[in-house]
């Protein structure tokens, strides 16, 4: 049965439509526009959200866990809990993200995640859907490893990457890598050849090393400013490339803890609305009370919204809808532009913008319904409305 949603506004997100209607059937959007111009039959199910705002479902390309569970647990019940939590915050799609761990544990986790991606849950519309796996580690810089265990970091090995690829059944979509480490340029080129997005991060690269990675195929950057060489006016390093190279998209953790609000504003100004991506980097503690939680094999202490491991930041408890609202405040943006950074832009990073990240004809009916204040009212995954 066809369904029509009515609302005061609809964000596509490249435009805002007032007095809007959205029509979809069998999980695919067939029309979006001014309600008087969207035609549907008398048999169409009509749901009127009043003064609410329809937007694409949010997409988080960097998330380690939530609701007390970590994506590396390899447990169906744990993934279900994470996905249900994300859906309550407007997220309809995501990239489960690994953290550096022992190789055998990593391979087992990748096998479980690859299986989950190949066998999505049926008849569970309240769960976000995984898109592809994001490998964060083990090909990272020791100098900018963050909390990734130094003894488990690896040189950029084509052989090891292939083992990880095979374990995940080829469902790797994003690879965070430091371009200056041994073998990185060759691995970036091979990952790119396989359709994996190489993302520069956890790196102490100078500008020349960053440029080498970009020439090899890297086209994104991971949690900009965090785990990167600080910007120097004479030796700008990777960060200088990230902020000035228009061929790179880049993401940021806009929780007010990882990066100061003024720097979020600077980031948006430097990258522009079209190349800035919001992520959470959230861990198992997200949505839970203060206490001790796991990030891969690390026990992280969480207090007042800050996640610490041995005095270092270890992920976040940020939700993506909160990141949208924070970015509106920090960078003085309207909802439309902040929504674009959490929908269409991450879809473009993954090259899936024809079916995800927008409310346009032919796209999947993944929808987040917001209040005028930017709070999530309802999340619709795959066109299933409860």
Residue 243 CB contacts under 8 Å (≥ 6 apart), including other chains: 224, 231, 250, 267, 270, 271
Yes or no: say if 239 and 222 are a contact pair by the CB < 8 Å rule. Answer: no
What angle do the packed helices 207-216 and 237-244 form, to 10 degrees? 50
Q: What is the DSSP code (8-state) at residue 167?
A: H
Rounded distance, CA 346 to CA 61, Å?
A: 7
Paired tokens of 230: 């600080």
Q: What is the DSSP code (8-state) at residue 229?
A: P
DSSP collapsed to 3 states, 280-297: CCECCCCCCCCEEEEECC
Q: What is the DSSP code (8-state) at residue 196?
A: P
Rounded distance, CA 142 to CA 66, Å?
A: 27
Rounded distance, CA 174 to CA 135, Å?
A: 6
Rounded distance, CA 252 to CA 225, Å?
A: 8
Closest CA to 59 of 364, 375, 373: 364
CB atoms within 10 A of CB 56: 30
Paired tokens of 362: 């032919």
Which H/E stretch holds residue 341?
helix 335-341
Catalytic residues: 281
């Amino acid at each position: 049965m066809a369904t029509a949603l009515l609302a005061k506004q609809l964000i596509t997100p490249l435009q805002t439509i007032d007095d809007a209607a959205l029509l979809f059937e069998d999980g695919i959007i067939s029309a979006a526009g001014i309600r008087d111009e969207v035609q549907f039959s008398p048999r169409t199910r009509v749901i009127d959200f009043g003064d609410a705002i329809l937007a694409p479902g949010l997409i988080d390309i960097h998330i380690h866990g939530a609701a007390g569970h970590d994506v590396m647990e390899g447990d169906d019940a744990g993934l279900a809990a994470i996905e249900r939590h994300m859906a309550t915050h407007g997220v309809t799609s995501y990239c489960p993200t690994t953290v550096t761990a022992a190789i055998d544990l990593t391979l087992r986790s990748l096998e479980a995640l690859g299986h989950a991606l190949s066998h999505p849950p049926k008849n569970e519309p309240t769960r976000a859907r995984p898109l592809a796996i994001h490998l964060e580690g083990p090909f990272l810089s020791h100098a900018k490893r963050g909390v990734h265990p130094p003894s488990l970091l690896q040189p950029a090995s084509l052989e090891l990457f292939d083992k990880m690829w095979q374990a995940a059944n080829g469902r790797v979509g994003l690879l965070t890598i430091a371009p200056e480490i041994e073998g990185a340029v060759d691995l970036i080129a091979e990952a790119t050849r396989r359709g994996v997005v190489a993302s520069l991060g956890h790196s102490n690269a100078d500008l020349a090393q960053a440029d080498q990675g970009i020439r090899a195929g890297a086209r994104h950057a991971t949690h900009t400013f965090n785990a990167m060489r600080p910007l120097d006016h004479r030796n700008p390093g990777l960060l200088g490339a990230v902020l000035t190279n228009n061929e790179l998209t880049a993401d940021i953790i806009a929780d007010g803890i990882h990066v100061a609000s003024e720097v979020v504003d600077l980031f948006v100004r430097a990258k522009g609305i079209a190349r800035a991506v919001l992520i959470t980097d959230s861990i198992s503690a997200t949505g839970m009370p203060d206490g001790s939680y796991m990030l891969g094999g690390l026990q992280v202490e969480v207090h007042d919204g800050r996640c610490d491991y041995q005095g270092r930041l270890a992920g976040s408890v940020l939700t993506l809808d909160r990141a949208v609202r924070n970015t509106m405040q920090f960078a003085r943006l309207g909802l439309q532009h902040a929504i674009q950074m959490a929908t269409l832009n991450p879809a473009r990073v993954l090259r899936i913008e024809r079916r995800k990240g927008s409310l346009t004809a032919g796209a999947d009916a993944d929808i987040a319904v917001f209040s005028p204040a930017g709070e999530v009212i309802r999340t619709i995954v795959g066109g299933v409305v409860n």
